[in-house]
């Protein structure tokens, strides 16, 4: 079974390395649910990163203010959203979105990012829906 298929236009060398680390750590048994997805950096996001459809946008400037574990937590969380197709519905209801956030954290932990997600939540707070 091949690894999940993605295309990346990440110019920042550190983020490029960390995205590849996340991809390599995702267990093979999860690969079947992935469709082609895209990752870009340099975006000026309202948050550290966001997913629209099958595309992940990383805010390089915001992410660089965190340590490696937190960045890995953020990237794995966002890839988990793509894995679950959370951004396919353009207008999810609020409670479904909060459930999606919790599910993305849970999946990232199942992939082996327990320490990273816990560090992310300790720093940024528990999963909430931001306005």
Q: Can you give the residue ranges of every domain in the chain?
A: 6-123
Q: What is the pLDDT of residues 9-58, one digit of tens each?
A: 888 899 999 999 999 999 988 887 777 777 777 767 677 887 877 888 88
What values do phi and psi take at 38, rounded to 5?
-125, 145
CATH for 6-123 (3.50.50.60, 1.10.390.10, 3.40.50.2300, 1.10.510.10): 1.10.390.10
Tell me the C-alpha to C-alpha distance, in Å, between residue 24 and each of 21, 53, 87: 5, 22, 23
Q: What is the pLDDT of residues 99-122, one digit of tens each?
A: 888 999 999 999 999 999 999 999
* Nearest-angstrom CA–CA distance, 48 and 69: 14
* Nearest-angstrom CA–CA distance, 120 and 100: 17
């Amino acid at each position: 079974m091949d690894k999940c298929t993605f295309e990346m236009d990440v110019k920042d060398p550190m983020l490029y390395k960390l995205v590849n680390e996340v991809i390599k750590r995702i267990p093979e048994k999860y690969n079947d649910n992935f469709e082609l997805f895209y990752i870009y950096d340099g975006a000026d996001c309202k948050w550290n990163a966001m997913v629209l459809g099958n595309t992940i946008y990383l805010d390089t400037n915001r992410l660089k203010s965190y340590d490696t574990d937190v960045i890995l937590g953020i990237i794995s969380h966002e890839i988990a959203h793509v894995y679950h197709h959370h951004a396919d519905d353009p207008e999810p209801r609020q409670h479904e979105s909060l459930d999606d956030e919790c599910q993305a954290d849970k999946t990232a932990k199942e992939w082996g990012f327990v320490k990273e997600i816990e560090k992310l939540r300790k720093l940024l707070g528990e999963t909430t829906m931001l306005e």
